[in-house]
Structure 1
Amino acid sequence: MHVHRPRSPHRSRLTAAGVLLAALSLLLTVPGTAQAAASADDRPARGEARLGMGVVEHDGQGALPPEGLAATTEGVDVSGHQGNVDWPALWNSGVKWAYVKATEGTYYQNEYFGQQYNGSYDIGMIRGAYHFATPDSASGAAQANYFVDHGGGWSKDGKTLPGVLDIEWNPYGATCYGLSQSAMVDWIRDFTNTYKARTGRDAVIYTATSWWTECTGNYAGFGATNPLWVARYAEAPGTLPAGWDFHTMWQYTSTGPIVGDHNQFNGAYDRLQALANG
Protein backbone atom coordinates (compact mmCIF):
# COMPACT_ATOMS: atom_id res chain seq x y z
CA MET A 1 0.00 0.00 0.00
CA HIS A 2 1.38 3.41 -1.02
CA VAL A 3 1.39 5.94 1.77
CA HIS A 4 1.21 9.56 0.58
CA ARG A 5 3.69 11.76 2.37
CA PRO A 6 3.19 15.56 2.33
CA ARG A 7 6.00 17.39 0.49
CA SER A 8 8.30 19.31 2.75
CA PRO A 9 7.79 23.12 2.43
CA HIS A 10 11.58 23.47 2.63
CA ARG A 11 12.04 21.08 -0.27
CA SER A 12 9.43 22.96 -2.33
CA ARG A 13 11.28 26.24 -1.89
CA LEU A 14 14.54 24.62 -2.97
CA THR A 15 12.92 23.12 -6.05
CA ALA A 16 11.40 26.45 -7.07
CA ALA A 17 14.74 28.19 -6.60
CA GLY A 18 16.44 25.56 -8.72
CA VAL A 19 13.92 25.99 -11.52
CA LEU A 20 14.41 29.75 -11.43
CA LEU A 21 18.21 29.44 -11.58
CA ALA A 22 17.96 26.99 -14.47
CA ALA A 23 15.68 29.35 -16.39
CA LEU A 24 18.04 32.27 -15.86
CA SER A 25 20.99 30.14 -16.98
CA LEU A 26 19.13 29.11 -20.11
CA LEU A 27 18.23 32.73 -20.91
CA LEU A 28 21.85 33.78 -20.67
CA THR A 29 23.14 31.00 -22.90
CA VAL A 30 20.52 30.75 -25.66
CA PRO A 31 21.50 32.94 -28.66
CA GLY A 32 19.07 35.68 -29.55
CA THR A 33 17.62 36.22 -26.06
CA ALA A 34 19.65 38.21 -23.55
CA GLN A 35 22.23 39.09 -26.19
CA ALA A 36 19.57 40.40 -28.56
CA ALA A 37 18.06 42.55 -25.84
CA ALA A 38 21.46 44.01 -25.01
CA SER A 39 22.24 44.80 -28.62
CA ALA A 40 18.86 46.49 -29.01
CA ASP A 41 19.67 48.69 -26.03
CA ASP A 42 22.96 49.69 -27.69
CA ARG A 43 21.29 50.95 -30.87
CA PRO A 44 21.52 54.69 -31.56
CA ALA A 45 18.47 56.89 -31.78
CA ARG A 46 16.97 57.39 -35.22
CA GLY A 47 18.82 60.17 -37.01
CA GLU A 48 22.18 59.53 -35.35
CA ALA A 49 23.55 57.30 -38.11
CA ARG A 50 26.48 58.64 -40.12
CA LEU A 51 28.75 57.69 -42.97
CA GLY A 52 30.83 54.65 -42.07
CA MET A 53 29.15 54.04 -38.74
CA GLY A 54 29.32 50.27 -39.20
CA VAL A 55 32.77 49.97 -40.74
CA VAL A 56 34.76 49.58 -37.52
CA GLU A 57 32.31 47.05 -36.08
CA HIS A 58 32.08 44.94 -39.23
CA ASP A 59 35.32 45.47 -41.15
CA GLY A 60 37.73 46.58 -38.41
CA GLN A 61 39.84 49.69 -37.88
CA GLY A 62 43.15 49.59 -39.70
CA ALA A 63 46.13 51.86 -40.12
CA LEU A 64 46.25 55.14 -41.99
CA PRO A 65 47.14 54.87 -45.69
CA PRO A 66 50.82 54.92 -46.63
CA GLU A 67 52.54 58.21 -47.22
CA GLY A 68 53.23 59.51 -50.70
CA LEU A 69 50.28 58.11 -52.64
CA ALA A 70 50.28 59.77 -56.05
CA ALA A 71 47.48 62.00 -57.35
CA THR A 72 45.10 62.02 -54.41
CA THR A 73 43.20 64.88 -52.77
CA GLU A 74 42.34 64.83 -49.08
CA GLY A 75 38.73 65.17 -47.93
CA VAL A 76 36.54 64.86 -44.85
CA ASP A 77 32.96 63.89 -44.09
CA VAL A 78 30.94 65.21 -41.17
CA SER A 79 27.46 64.95 -39.67
CA GLY A 80 25.52 66.39 -36.76
CA HIS A 81 27.75 64.21 -34.58
CA GLN A 82 30.58 66.74 -35.07
CA GLY A 83 28.49 69.84 -34.30
CA ASN A 84 30.03 73.13 -35.40
CA VAL A 85 33.17 72.31 -37.37
CA ASP A 86 36.44 74.25 -37.33
CA TRP A 87 36.74 74.59 -41.11
CA PRO A 88 39.83 76.86 -41.10
CA ALA A 89 41.75 74.21 -39.14
CA LEU A 90 40.75 71.49 -41.59
CA TRP A 91 41.63 73.69 -44.58
CA ASN A 92 45.04 74.49 -43.11
CA SER A 93 45.68 70.78 -42.55
CA GLY A 94 45.29 70.12 -46.29
CA VAL A 95 41.65 69.09 -46.56
CA LYS A 96 40.24 70.39 -49.87
CA TRP A 97 36.79 68.79 -50.07
CA ALA A 98 33.99 67.78 -47.74
CA TYR A 99 30.74 65.87 -47.64
CA VAL A 100 28.10 66.83 -45.09
CA LYS A 101 25.20 64.70 -43.92
CA ALA A 102 21.97 66.40 -44.95
CA THR A 103 19.24 63.85 -44.29
CA GLU A 104 18.31 60.37 -43.15
CA GLY A 105 15.23 58.44 -44.23
CA THR A 106 12.36 60.89 -44.60
CA TYR A 107 12.40 61.89 -40.92
CA TYR A 108 15.72 63.61 -40.13
CA GLN A 109 17.62 66.73 -41.17
CA ASN A 110 21.08 67.53 -39.82
CA GLU A 111 20.64 70.47 -37.45
CA TYR A 112 24.23 71.60 -38.13
CA PHE A 113 23.90 71.36 -41.90
CA GLY A 114 24.05 75.12 -42.53
CA GLN A 115 27.24 75.66 -40.54
CA GLN A 116 28.90 72.62 -42.04
CA TYR A 117 27.81 72.94 -45.68
CA ASN A 118 28.23 76.70 -45.95
CA GLY A 119 31.29 76.81 -43.71
CA SER A 120 33.20 74.35 -45.88
CA TYR A 121 32.25 76.34 -48.98
CA ASP A 122 33.21 79.67 -47.42
CA ILE A 123 36.71 78.43 -46.53
CA GLY A 124 37.26 77.35 -50.14
CA MET A 125 36.44 73.67 -50.17
CA ILE A 126 34.51 71.83 -52.85
CA ARG A 127 31.66 70.26 -50.92
CA GLY A 128 28.57 68.12 -51.28
CA ALA A 129 25.81 66.50 -49.25
CA TYR A 130 25.01 62.90 -48.37
CA HIS A 131 21.90 60.96 -47.40
CA PHE A 132 21.94 58.08 -44.92
CA ALA A 133 19.58 55.51 -46.42
CA THR A 134 17.13 53.52 -44.31
CA PRO A 135 15.43 51.29 -46.90
CA ASP A 136 13.02 49.88 -44.33
CA SER A 137 11.44 53.27 -43.61
CA ALA A 138 10.42 54.63 -47.05
CA SER A 139 10.93 54.00 -50.75
CA GLY A 140 14.07 54.96 -52.63
CA ALA A 141 12.18 57.62 -54.58
CA ALA A 142 10.70 59.14 -51.42
CA GLN A 143 14.10 59.35 -49.77
CA ALA A 144 15.78 60.79 -52.87
CA ASN A 145 13.15 63.52 -53.07
CA TYR A 146 13.49 64.24 -49.36
CA PHE A 147 17.26 64.51 -49.79
CA VAL A 148 17.05 66.91 -52.75
CA ASP A 149 14.43 69.02 -50.98
CA HIS A 150 16.61 69.39 -47.87
CA GLY A 151 20.12 70.21 -49.04
CA GLY A 152 21.02 67.40 -51.40
CA GLY A 153 20.63 69.25 -54.69
CA TRP A 154 23.36 70.12 -57.16
CA SER A 155 24.39 73.22 -59.10
CA LYS A 156 27.13 73.64 -61.68
CA ASP A 157 29.13 76.24 -59.78
CA GLY A 158 32.40 74.31 -59.66
CA LYS A 159 32.11 74.00 -55.86
CA THR A 160 29.28 71.49 -55.45
CA LEU A 161 29.79 67.74 -55.67
CA PRO A 162 26.97 65.37 -56.68
CA GLY A 163 24.92 63.97 -53.82
CA VAL A 164 25.85 60.72 -52.11
CA LEU A 165 23.68 57.73 -51.29
CA ASP A 166 25.15 56.29 -48.09
CA ILE A 167 24.01 52.66 -48.18
CA GLU A 168 25.60 50.45 -45.52
CA TRP A 169 25.01 48.52 -42.31
CA ASN A 170 21.76 49.22 -40.53
CA PRO A 171 22.57 50.63 -37.07
CA TYR A 172 18.93 50.23 -36.00
CA GLY A 173 18.28 46.55 -36.75
CA ALA A 174 18.73 43.88 -39.42
CA THR A 175 21.91 44.38 -41.47
CA CYS A 176 20.10 44.49 -44.82
CA TYR A 177 17.02 46.31 -43.48
CA GLY A 178 14.87 43.21 -43.95
CA LEU A 179 15.19 43.35 -47.76
CA SER A 180 16.19 40.54 -50.08
CA GLN A 181 19.18 41.13 -52.34
CA SER A 182 16.99 41.81 -55.36
CA ALA A 183 14.72 44.12 -53.38
CA MET A 184 17.76 46.06 -52.16
CA VAL A 185 19.00 46.50 -55.73
CA ASP A 186 15.54 47.76 -56.74
CA TRP A 187 15.52 50.19 -53.81
CA ILE A 188 18.94 51.61 -54.75
CA ARG A 189 17.88 51.94 -58.39
CA ASP A 190 14.71 53.75 -57.31
CA PHE A 191 16.82 56.24 -55.35
CA THR A 192 19.49 56.81 -58.00
CA ASN A 193 16.97 57.14 -60.86
CA THR A 194 14.97 59.68 -58.88
CA TYR A 195 18.06 61.64 -57.91
CA LYS A 196 19.21 61.75 -61.54
CA ALA A 197 15.77 62.95 -62.67
CA ARG A 198 15.75 65.70 -60.02
CA THR A 199 19.32 66.98 -60.40
CA GLY A 200 20.72 65.77 -63.72
CA ARG A 201 23.57 64.04 -61.89
CA ASP A 202 24.27 60.42 -61.04
CA ALA A 203 24.52 60.04 -57.29
CA VAL A 204 27.75 58.79 -55.78
CA ILE A 205 27.26 55.45 -54.01
CA TYR A 206 29.03 55.09 -50.68
CA THR A 207 29.31 51.51 -49.43
CA ALA A 208 31.67 48.78 -48.24
CA THR A 209 32.44 45.72 -50.32
CA SER A 210 31.44 43.29 -47.56
CA TRP A 211 28.05 44.95 -47.04
CA TRP A 212 27.42 45.27 -50.78
CA THR A 213 28.21 41.59 -51.30
CA GLU A 214 25.91 40.46 -48.49
CA CYS A 215 22.97 42.75 -49.16
CA THR A 216 22.91 43.11 -52.96
CA GLY A 217 24.51 39.82 -53.95
CA ASN A 218 27.47 41.85 -55.24
CA TYR A 219 25.31 43.38 -57.96
CA ALA A 220 27.37 44.90 -60.79
CA GLY A 221 24.84 47.14 -62.49
CA PHE A 222 25.70 50.56 -61.02
CA GLY A 223 29.39 50.68 -61.89
CA ALA A 224 28.91 52.22 -65.32
CA THR A 225 26.94 55.22 -64.05
CA ASN A 226 27.46 55.93 -60.36
CA PRO A 227 30.84 56.93 -58.90
CA LEU A 228 31.99 54.69 -56.06
CA TRP A 229 33.00 55.90 -52.62
CA VAL A 230 34.37 52.82 -50.90
CA ALA A 231 34.82 52.41 -47.15
CA ARG A 232 37.74 50.36 -45.91
CA TYR A 233 39.83 51.33 -42.90
CA ALA A 234 43.12 49.83 -43.97
CA GLU A 235 46.24 50.61 -45.98
CA ALA A 236 44.51 50.07 -49.34
CA PRO A 237 40.93 50.14 -50.65
CA GLY A 238 41.10 46.40 -51.31
CA THR A 239 38.67 44.48 -53.50
CA LEU A 240 35.92 46.74 -54.85
CA PRO A 241 32.25 45.84 -55.23
CA ALA A 242 31.33 44.21 -58.55
CA GLY A 243 30.89 46.56 -61.50
CA TRP A 244 33.48 49.14 -60.47
CA ASP A 245 36.96 48.99 -61.96
CA PHE A 246 38.19 51.84 -59.75
CA HIS A 247 37.05 53.90 -56.80
CA THR A 248 36.41 57.64 -56.99
CA MET A 249 36.77 58.20 -53.25
CA TRP A 250 38.07 56.11 -50.38
CA GLN A 251 37.13 56.55 -46.74
CA TYR A 252 40.23 55.22 -45.00
CA THR A 253 39.74 56.13 -41.34
CA SER A 254 37.21 57.37 -38.80
CA THR A 255 39.93 58.84 -36.58
CA GLY A 256 40.96 62.00 -38.38
CA PRO A 257 43.57 64.28 -36.82
CA ILE A 258 41.06 67.12 -36.35
CA VAL A 259 37.45 66.06 -36.86
CA GLY A 260 35.34 63.72 -38.97
CA ASP A 261 36.14 60.70 -41.10
CA HIS A 262 38.99 61.19 -43.54
CA ASN A 263 39.00 60.29 -47.20
CA GLN A 264 41.07 60.47 -50.35
CA PHE A 265 39.76 61.47 -53.75
CA ASN A 266 41.34 59.21 -56.36
CA GLY A 267 42.88 61.95 -58.48
CA ALA A 268 44.45 65.38 -58.47
CA TYR A 269 42.51 68.52 -57.57
CA ASP A 270 41.58 69.28 -61.17
CA ARG A 271 39.82 65.91 -61.43
CA LEU A 272 37.86 66.75 -58.28
CA GLN A 273 36.80 69.98 -59.96
CA ALA A 274 35.74 68.00 -63.03
CA LEU A 275 33.51 65.79 -60.85
CA ALA A 276 31.92 68.88 -59.36
CA ASN A 277 31.26 70.39 -62.79
CA GLY A 278 29.77 67.22 -64.20
Structure 2
Amino acid sequence: MARDRKPSRHRSRLIAVSVAALALGGTALAEIPAAAAGKPKGHDVSSHQKNVNWQSSKAKGAKFVYVKATESHTYRNPYFNQQYNGSRNAGLIRGAYHFALPNKSSGQAQAAHFVRNGGGWKSDGWTLPPALDIEYNPYSKHKCYGLSNAKMVTWIQSFSNEVKRLTGRRPVIYTTTHWWNTCTGASRAFASNHALWIARYDSATAGALPAGWQFWTIWQYDNASGSLPGDQNLFNGSMTQLRKFARGY
Protein backbone atom coordinates (compact mmCIF):
# COMPACT_ATOMS: atom_id res chain seq x y z
CA MET A 1 0.00 0.00 0.00
CA ALA A 2 0.96 3.63 -0.27
CA ARG A 3 3.66 5.24 1.86
CA ASP A 4 3.46 8.98 2.38
CA ARG A 5 6.40 9.97 4.51
CA LYS A 6 9.39 11.98 3.32
CA PRO A 7 12.14 11.81 2.13
CA SER A 8 12.03 10.59 -1.44
CA ARG A 9 8.33 9.85 -1.72
CA HIS A 10 8.56 8.98 -5.41
CA ARG A 11 11.60 6.77 -4.89
CA SER A 12 9.88 5.00 -2.01
CA ARG A 13 6.87 4.25 -4.17
CA LEU A 14 9.09 2.78 -6.86
CA ILE A 15 10.92 0.62 -4.34
CA ALA A 16 7.63 -0.59 -2.89
CA VAL A 17 6.23 -1.50 -6.29
CA SER A 18 9.43 -3.32 -7.22
CA VAL A 19 9.41 -5.30 -4.00
CA ALA A 20 5.75 -6.19 -4.45
CA ALA A 21 6.40 -7.37 -7.99
CA LEU A 22 9.25 -9.60 -6.84
CA ALA A 23 7.41 -10.96 -3.84
CA LEU A 24 4.06 -11.46 -5.50
CA GLY A 25 5.11 -12.62 -8.91
CA GLY A 26 4.80 -9.95 -11.57
CA THR A 27 2.52 -7.10 -12.50
CA ALA A 28 -1.00 -6.46 -11.28
CA LEU A 29 -4.32 -7.49 -12.75
CA ALA A 30 -6.75 -4.69 -13.51
CA GLU A 31 -9.76 -7.02 -13.62
CA ILE A 32 -11.42 -8.91 -10.79
CA PRO A 33 -10.16 -12.51 -10.76
CA ALA A 34 -12.85 -14.85 -12.05
CA ALA A 35 -12.73 -17.01 -8.93
CA ALA A 36 -13.68 -13.99 -6.80
CA ALA A 37 -16.47 -12.61 -8.96
CA GLY A 38 -19.55 -11.67 -6.97
CA LYS A 39 -17.70 -10.83 -3.77
CA PRO A 40 -18.05 -7.28 -2.38
CA LYS A 41 -15.56 -4.97 -4.08
CA GLY A 42 -13.56 -2.34 -2.25
CA HIS A 43 -10.39 -0.30 -2.35
CA ASP A 44 -7.85 1.41 -0.12
CA VAL A 45 -6.57 4.97 -0.37
CA SER A 46 -3.97 7.28 1.13
CA SER A 47 -2.80 10.85 0.58
CA HIS A 48 -1.72 9.85 -2.93
CA GLN A 49 -5.40 9.85 -3.94
CA LYS A 50 -6.04 13.25 -2.28
CA ASN A 51 -9.73 14.28 -2.32
CA VAL A 52 -11.58 11.23 -3.61
CA ASN A 53 -14.85 11.40 -5.54
CA TRP A 54 -16.74 8.95 -3.33
CA GLN A 55 -19.98 9.04 -5.27
CA SER A 56 -18.02 7.94 -8.32
CA SER A 57 -16.44 5.09 -6.33
CA LYS A 58 -19.85 3.95 -5.18
CA ALA A 59 -21.23 4.16 -8.73
CA LYS A 60 -18.37 1.92 -9.89
CA GLY A 61 -19.37 -0.73 -7.38
CA ALA A 62 -17.30 -0.02 -4.28
CA LYS A 63 -18.86 -1.42 -1.11
CA PHE A 64 -16.04 -0.76 1.34
CA VAL A 65 -12.78 1.14 1.69
CA TYR A 66 -9.77 1.32 3.98
CA VAL A 67 -8.23 4.77 4.46
CA LYS A 68 -4.66 5.32 5.55
CA ALA A 69 -4.67 7.20 8.84
CA THR A 70 -1.09 7.12 10.08
CA GLU A 71 2.48 5.92 9.62
CA SER A 72 5.08 5.29 12.32
CA HIS A 73 4.42 7.45 15.42
CA THR A 74 4.30 10.96 13.91
CA TYR A 75 2.71 10.99 10.44
CA ARG A 76 -1.00 11.56 9.82
CA ASN A 77 -2.66 11.50 6.39
CA PRO A 78 -3.68 15.14 5.71
CA TYR A 79 -6.60 13.94 3.57
CA PHE A 80 -7.87 11.49 6.17
CA ASN A 81 -10.99 13.40 7.22
CA GLN A 82 -12.21 13.93 3.65
CA GLN A 83 -11.53 10.33 2.75
CA TYR A 84 -12.85 8.68 5.91
CA ASN A 85 -15.94 10.84 6.39
CA GLY A 86 -16.60 11.27 2.69
CA SER A 87 -16.68 7.53 2.07
CA ARG A 88 -19.13 7.03 4.93
CA ASN A 89 -21.36 9.84 3.65
CA ALA A 90 -21.43 8.15 0.25
CA GLY A 91 -22.66 4.92 1.81
CA LEU A 92 -19.45 2.88 1.92
CA ILE A 93 -18.39 0.78 4.89
CA ARG A 94 -14.99 2.17 5.82
CA GLY A 95 -12.07 1.63 8.15
CA ALA A 96 -8.63 3.04 8.88
CA TYR A 97 -5.18 1.50 8.51
CA HIS A 98 -1.73 2.20 9.92
CA PHE A 99 1.52 1.74 7.98
CA ALA A 100 4.00 0.24 10.41
CA LEU A 101 7.66 1.20 10.70
CA PRO A 102 8.80 -1.17 13.47
CA ASN A 103 12.34 0.25 13.48
CA LYS A 104 11.12 3.72 14.53
CA SER A 105 9.21 3.10 17.77
CA SER A 106 7.36 0.43 19.73
CA GLY A 107 4.21 -1.29 18.59
CA GLN A 108 2.38 0.18 21.56
CA ALA A 109 3.46 3.74 20.68
CA GLN A 110 2.45 3.40 17.04
CA ALA A 111 -0.89 1.85 17.97
CA ALA A 112 -1.64 4.73 20.33
CA HIS A 113 -0.76 7.27 17.63
CA PHE A 114 -2.98 5.39 15.17
CA VAL A 115 -6.03 5.28 17.43
CA ARG A 116 -5.61 8.94 18.41
CA ASN A 117 -5.64 9.93 14.74
CA GLY A 118 -8.52 8.02 13.22
CA GLY A 119 -7.84 4.36 13.96
CA GLY A 120 -10.82 3.87 16.24
CA TRP A 121 -13.74 1.49 15.89
CA LYS A 122 -17.39 1.30 16.89
CA SER A 123 -20.01 -1.37 16.36
CA ASP A 124 -22.26 0.66 14.07
CA GLY A 125 -22.07 -1.59 11.02
CA TRP A 126 -20.24 1.10 9.04
CA THR A 127 -16.79 0.92 10.63
CA LEU A 128 -14.32 -1.81 9.70
CA PRO A 129 -11.87 -2.96 12.37
CA PRO A 130 -8.56 -1.07 12.53
CA ALA A 131 -5.90 -2.52 10.23
CA LEU A 132 -2.13 -2.92 10.53
CA ASP A 133 -0.18 -2.67 7.26
CA ILE A 134 3.03 -4.63 7.90
CA GLU A 135 5.22 -5.32 4.88
CA TYR A 136 8.65 -4.78 3.36
CA ASN A 137 10.45 -1.62 4.43
CA PRO A 138 10.16 0.82 1.49
CA TYR A 139 12.78 3.19 2.90
CA SER A 140 15.72 0.84 3.44
CA LYS A 141 17.44 -2.30 2.23
CA HIS A 142 16.60 -3.84 5.63
CA LYS A 143 13.28 -5.26 4.53
CA CYS A 144 12.47 -6.68 7.98
CA TYR A 145 13.38 -3.33 9.58
CA GLY A 146 16.46 -4.81 11.23
CA LEU A 147 14.35 -6.88 13.63
CA SER A 148 14.79 -10.57 14.33
CA ASN A 149 11.82 -12.87 13.81
CA ALA A 150 11.15 -12.97 17.56
CA LYS A 151 11.34 -9.19 17.94
CA MET A 152 9.03 -8.68 14.98
CA VAL A 153 6.44 -11.00 16.51
CA THR A 154 6.75 -9.11 19.80
CA TRP A 155 6.32 -5.78 18.00
CA ILE A 156 3.15 -6.93 16.21
CA GLN A 157 1.73 -8.36 19.44
CA SER A 158 2.41 -5.08 21.23
CA PHE A 159 0.60 -3.15 18.50
CA SER A 160 -2.32 -5.56 18.53
CA ASN A 161 -2.67 -5.53 22.30
CA GLU A 162 -2.78 -1.74 22.43
CA VAL A 163 -5.33 -1.50 19.62
CA LYS A 164 -7.47 -4.10 21.39
CA ARG A 165 -7.18 -2.21 24.68
CA LEU A 166 -8.14 1.12 23.11
CA THR A 167 -10.83 0.01 20.65
CA GLY A 168 -12.10 -3.38 21.78
CA ARG A 169 -11.03 -5.14 18.57
CA ARG A 170 -7.95 -6.88 17.30
CA PRO A 171 -6.54 -5.28 14.15
CA VAL A 172 -6.82 -6.81 10.72
CA ILE A 173 -3.32 -7.72 9.52
CA TYR A 174 -2.35 -6.65 5.98
CA THR A 175 0.72 -8.41 4.65
CA THR A 176 2.16 -10.67 1.97
CA THR A 177 2.86 -14.35 2.47
CA HIS A 178 6.52 -13.89 1.59
CA TRP A 179 7.07 -11.01 4.02
CA TRP A 180 5.24 -12.74 6.86
CA ASN A 181 7.03 -16.03 6.56
CA THR A 182 10.38 -14.29 6.12
CA CYS A 183 10.16 -11.57 8.77
CA THR A 184 8.14 -13.32 11.49
CA GLY A 185 9.67 -16.74 10.92
CA ALA A 186 6.29 -18.05 9.74
CA SER A 187 4.66 -17.21 13.06
CA ARG A 188 1.28 -18.82 13.71
CA ALA A 189 0.61 -16.67 16.77
CA PHE A 190 -1.92 -14.32 15.13
CA ALA A 191 -4.05 -16.43 12.81
CA SER A 192 -6.65 -17.48 15.37
CA ASN A 193 -7.76 -13.97 16.34
CA HIS A 194 -6.67 -11.60 13.56
CA ALA A 195 -8.43 -11.31 10.21
CA LEU A 196 -6.05 -11.56 7.24
CA TRP A 197 -5.83 -8.94 4.49
CA ILE A 198 -3.59 -10.60 1.94
CA ALA A 199 -1.82 -8.84 -0.93
CA ARG A 200 -1.24 -10.88 -4.08
CA TYR A 201 -1.30 -9.55 -7.62
CA ASP A 202 -1.31 -11.11 -11.08
CA SER A 203 -3.03 -14.23 -9.82
CA ALA A 204 -6.37 -15.96 -10.26
CA THR A 205 -6.45 -16.73 -6.53
CA ALA A 206 -5.00 -15.33 -3.32
CA GLY A 207 -2.51 -18.20 -3.37
CA ALA A 208 -0.70 -19.73 -0.42
CA LEU A 209 -1.46 -17.82 2.78
CA PRO A 210 0.90 -16.80 5.59
CA ALA A 211 1.60 -19.43 8.24
CA GLY A 212 -1.39 -20.27 10.40
CA TRP A 213 -4.19 -18.68 8.36
CA GLN A 214 -6.67 -20.99 6.68
CA PHE A 215 -8.58 -18.30 4.78
CA TRP A 216 -8.33 -14.65 3.81
CA THR A 217 -10.87 -12.00 4.81
CA ILE A 218 -9.75 -9.28 2.36
CA TRP A 219 -7.66 -9.78 -0.76
CA GLN A 220 -5.80 -6.87 -2.34
CA TYR A 221 -5.58 -8.21 -5.87
CA ASP A 222 -4.41 -5.11 -7.73
CA ASN A 223 -2.13 -2.21 -6.82
CA ALA A 224 -3.71 0.94 -8.19
CA SER A 225 -4.47 0.04 -11.81
CA GLY A 226 -8.15 -0.87 -11.41
CA SER A 227 -11.33 1.14 -11.77
CA LEU A 228 -11.38 2.47 -8.19
CA PRO A 229 -8.98 5.04 -6.70
CA GLY A 230 -6.01 3.38 -5.01
CA ASP A 231 -5.58 -0.36 -4.60
CA GLN A 232 -8.32 -2.86 -5.47
CA ASN A 233 -9.72 -5.28 -2.89
CA LEU A 234 -12.31 -8.00 -2.41
CA PHE A 235 -14.09 -9.18 0.72
CA ASN A 236 -14.30 -12.94 1.19
CA GLY A 237 -18.02 -13.27 1.80
CA SER A 238 -21.40 -11.71 1.13
CA MET A 239 -22.58 -8.18 1.88
CA THR A 240 -24.39 -9.55 4.93
CA GLN A 241 -21.12 -11.06 6.16
CA LEU A 242 -19.28 -7.80 5.45
CA ARG A 243 -21.74 -5.91 7.63
CA LYS A 244 -21.36 -8.50 10.39
CA PHE A 245 -17.58 -8.19 10.12
CA ALA A 246 -17.89 -4.44 10.55
CA ARG A 247 -20.18 -4.82 13.56
CA GLY A 248 -17.83 -7.32 15.21
CA TYR A 249 -20.00 -10.44 15.15
The normalised TM-score by structure 1 is 0.80
Structure 1 letter corresponding to 2:95: G
Which residue in the other structure is 1:27 paired with?
Answer: none
Letter in 1 for 2:230: G
Number of positions where the alignment pairs a residue of Structure 1 with one of Structure 2: 236
1:114 aligns with 2:84: no
1:142-196 deviations in Å (ceiling 9; x for gaps): 0000000000000111100000000001011110000001110000000001110
Number of the residue aligned with 1:56: 21
Q: Out of 209, 220, 225, which is 1:251 matched to?
A: 220
1:91-113 deviation per Cα after TM superposition (whole angstroms, max 9, x unaligned): 00110000000000011000000
Q: Distance in 1 between matches of 2:73 and 2:59?
A: 35
Identify the residue that residue 35 of structure 1 maps to in structure 2: none
Match of 2:230 among 236, 260, 264: 260
Rounded to whole Å, the distance in 2 between the matches of 1:183 and 1:128 is 28
Q: Distance in 2 between matches of 1:272 and 1:73?
A: 8
- 1:177 and 1:43 mapped to 2: Cα distance? 18
Percentage identity across paired residues of the two chains: 49
Q: Is the 8 A contact 2:69 2:117 kept in 1?
A: yes
**1:155 aligned partner:** 122
Query: Which one of the candidate residues 224, 247, 271 is aligned to 2:192?
Result: 224
| Equivalent-residue separation in structure 2 for 1:65 and 1:163 (angstroms) | 25
Is the contact between residue 221 and residue 243 of structure 1 (CA under 8 Å) also seen in structure 2? yes
CA contact (8 A) 1:129 1:164 kept: yes
User: Does the CA contact (< 8 Å) of 2:12 and 2:138 recur in 1?
Assistant: no
TM-score (norm. length: structure 2): 0.89
Paired with 1:47 and 1:141, the residues of 2 have a C-alpha distance of 25
What code does the residue aligned with 1:44 have?
A: R
Distance 1:107 1:150 in 2: 10
- Please report how far the alpha carbon of residue 52 of structure 1 lies from its aligned counterpart in structure 2 after TM superposition: 7.7
- The 3 A distance-change label for structure 1 pair 77 and 146 is same
Distance in 1, Cα, partners of 2:158 & 2:70: 17
Give the whole-Å Cα distance in 1 for the aligned partners of 2:106 and 2:236. Answer: 31
Match for 2:236: what amino acid? N
Does structure 2 retain, via aligned residues, the 8 Å contact 1:43–1:171?
Answer: no
1:276 to 228, 246, 249: 246
| Partner secondary structure for residue 114 of structure 1 | helix
User: Aligned to 2:158, what secondary structure does the other structure show?
Assistant: helix
Cross-structure match for 2:166: 198
Q: Distance in 1 between matches of 2:18 and 2:168?
A: 29
Aligned-pair distance for 1:259?
Answer: 1.4
| 1:213 Cα offset (Å) | 1.0
Secondary structure, in 3 states, of the residue corresponding to 1:223?
A: coil
Q: How does 1:93-172 map to 2 (within 5 A)?
A: 93-172=60-139
1:71 is displaced (CA, Å) by: 5.1
Larger Rg: 1
Q: Distance in 2 between matches of 1:172 and 1:66?
A: 31
**Larger RCO of the pair (alpha carbons < 8 Å, separation 6+):** 2
Aligned partners of 1:168 and 1:211 also within 8 Å: yes
Task: Give the Cα separation in 2 of the matches to 1:155 and 1:200.
Answer: 9
CA distance, structure 1, for counterparts of residue 21 and residue 88 of structure 2 = 29
